[in-house]
């Protein structure tokens, strides 16, 4: 029996679908409507933002307003720079390493030690693993603090939990350049609790966090991080722009030493962008404009409200998974389950294919798990209305009744 899809067209104007994509992801409807209104003629200026010079006064106001809004929403302290960058989160794998190792404070620390400082990497899933591989390729002196956990049944490394801090292999503070981790693993559905890492790391060591897939979904104490980096296309806007929030002392360099920036391409150089208000060259103008609208939307909701809604959406789905664990097999330790990317499997591949196909018939798309993991992945980013989560939960319950 096929689910009735009673909610197929409910709460879906413009013949839209419920988009559960892991990224690029759903955007707030009100933001899309404002973009639509302004697409041909932005605020009476006679042209689209798509056509606008980044050197114009009008666009200068757009990007400065976006930065100011994000600073208010996250309460970013004055001693942090906000940078709009290209290259996505992947580009920031290399940028974080190259910029930190060029920092005056890190270089002085390394000189005092008399040998290369270690770069500590906490690996909790696919994206932190990719970050690790990138800096290894660049020749970093890497210390792996942890790499997943060992499966109790196979002994293999799996990414579904975190070991206790007592088992972490953190380097000595005087021997460590920085600690890097990804707070929410989009592929494996593991989310590190807020402040879990910064509480474990010596305050003298900068913590670099990739928040690509949970940025703006909950409050964050920016002052506890050396830098926060994030691709925009999950919670903040469309693909094409990434954001770095960097403590300014880490941008301080000894410019008289030619070795400092020899290996940093300009496009990855945070100082280069910081010195030109994120526009040393042509930025991804339209993507930044849309991000600015999303920031205003979040500000209107309130970051605490965003967190409340994110937890409510996730709980609705996890409650169904937990009610029928023999059918909906959750893959992640409950203490570390993501509120953004919820992953589970069904009893067999045939049922998974049927689930995805019937969901699509009910206007619910992009539910197939990542190719490296399989199963089902439900991405519930900020712009997913609670009605979308309700519709998905109703589908899950109906599918269970028809197939268990």
In this predicted structure, what is the pLDDT of residue 87?
A: 87
Q: Does 249 participate in catalysis according to the annotation?
A: no
Residue 60's Cβ-side half-sphere holds a number of Cα atoms within 13 Å equal to: 6
In the chain the first and final C-alpha atoms are separated, in Å, by 12
In this structure, which topology does domain 302-403 adopt according to CATH? 3.90.1150
In this predicted structure, what is the pLDDT of residue 373?
A: 86
354-389 pLDDT, tens digit each:
999 999 999 999 999 988 888 999 999 999 999 999
Residue 2 confidence class, pLDDT cut points 50, 70, 90: low
DSSP strand E in 189-226: where?
A: 190-191, 207-210
Tokens of 170: 């953190």
Residue 6 pLDDT > 80: no
Q: What is the distance between the alpha carbons of residues 44 and 278, in angstroms, rounded to a whole number?
A: 26
Question: Is 393 exposed, middle or buried (CB count within 10 Å of its CB: 0-12, 13-18, 19+)?
Answer: middle
Q: What is the distance between the alpha carbons of residues 293 and 65, in angstroms, rounded to a whole number?
A: 10
Q: Does 270 participate in catalysis according to the annotation?
A: no
Question: Which whole-number Å values give the CA distances from 62 to 38, 238, 293, in the listed order?
Answer: 13, 16, 10
Tell me which of 109, 120, 127, 270 is the catalytic residue. Answer: 127
Q: What is the distance between the alpha carbons of residues 364 and 360, in angstroms, rounded to a whole number?
A: 5
Mean pLDDT of the chain: 94
pTM of the model: 0.95
In contact, 95 and 267? CB cutoff 8 Å: no
Tell me which of 129, 234, 296, 368 is the catalytic residue. Answer: 234
Domain spans in the chain, listed from the N-terminal domain onward:
49-299, 302-403
Q: What is the distance between the alpha carbons of residues 286 and 86, in angstroms, rounded to a whole number?
A: 12
Q: Which of 104, 160, 147 is CA-nearest to residue 342?
A: 160
128-163 pLDDT, tens digit each:
999 999 999 999 999 999 999 988 788 899 999 999
Same fold, 49-299 and 302-403: no
Count of other CB atoms within 10 angstroms of residue 370: 16
- The class level of CATH for 49-299 reads alpha beta
Our measurement of the distance from residue 325's CA atom to the centroid of its chain's CA atoms, rounded to an integer in Å, reads: 28
Tell me which of 109, 120, 210, 270 is the catalytic residue. Answer: 210
């Amino acid at each position: 029996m096929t689910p009735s899809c009673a909610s197929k067209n409910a709460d879906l104007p413009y013949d839209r679908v419920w988009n559960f994509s892991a990224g690029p992801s759903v955007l707030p409807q009100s933001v899309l409507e404002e973009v639509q209104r302004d697409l041909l003629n932005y605020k009476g200026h006679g042209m689209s933002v798509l056509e606008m010079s980044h050197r114009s006064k009008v666009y200068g106001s757009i990007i400065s307003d976006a930065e100011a809004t994000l600073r208010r929403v996250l309460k970013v302290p004055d001693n942090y720079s906000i940078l709009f960058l290209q290259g996505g989160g992947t580009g920031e794998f290399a940028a974080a390493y190259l910029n930190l190792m060029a920092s005056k404070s890190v270089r002085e620390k390394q000189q005092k030690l008399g040998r290369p400082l270690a770069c500590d990497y906490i690996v909790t899933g696919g994206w932190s693993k990719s970050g690790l591989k990138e800096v290894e390729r660049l020749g970093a002196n890497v210390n792996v603090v942890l790499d997943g956990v060992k499966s109790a049944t196979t002994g293999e490394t799996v990414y579904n939990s975190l070991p206790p801090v007592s088992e972490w292999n953190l380097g000595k503070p005087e021997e460590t350049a920085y600690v890097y981790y990804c707070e929410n693993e989009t592929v494996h559905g593991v989310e590190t609790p807020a402040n879990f890492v910064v509480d474990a790391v010596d305050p003298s060591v900068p913590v670099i966090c990739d928040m690509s897939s949970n940025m703006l979904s909950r409050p964050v104490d920016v002052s506890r991080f050396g830098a926060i980096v994030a691709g925009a296309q999950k919670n903040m806007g469309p693909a094409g722009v990434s954001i770095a929030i960097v403590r300014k002392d880490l941008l301080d360099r000894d410019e008289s030493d030619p070795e400092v920036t020899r290996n940093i391409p300009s496009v990855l150089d945070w100082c280069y962008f910081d010195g030109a208000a994120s526009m040393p060259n042509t930025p991804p103008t339209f993507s930044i404009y849309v991000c600015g609208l999303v920031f205003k939307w979040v500000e209107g909701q309130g970051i605490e409200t965003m967190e409340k809604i994110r937890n409510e959406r996730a709980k609705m789905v996890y409650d169904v998974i937990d009610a029928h664990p023999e059918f909906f097999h959750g893959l992640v330790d409950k203490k570390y389950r993501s509120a953004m990317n919820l992953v589970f499997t069904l009893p067999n591949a045939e049922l998974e294919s049927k689930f995805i196909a019937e969901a699509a018939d009910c206007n619910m798309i992009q539910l197939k798990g990542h190719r490296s993991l399989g199963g089902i992945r439900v991405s519930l980013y900020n712009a997913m209305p609670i009605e979308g989560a309700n519709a998905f939960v109703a589908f899950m319950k109906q599918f269970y009744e028809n197939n268990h």
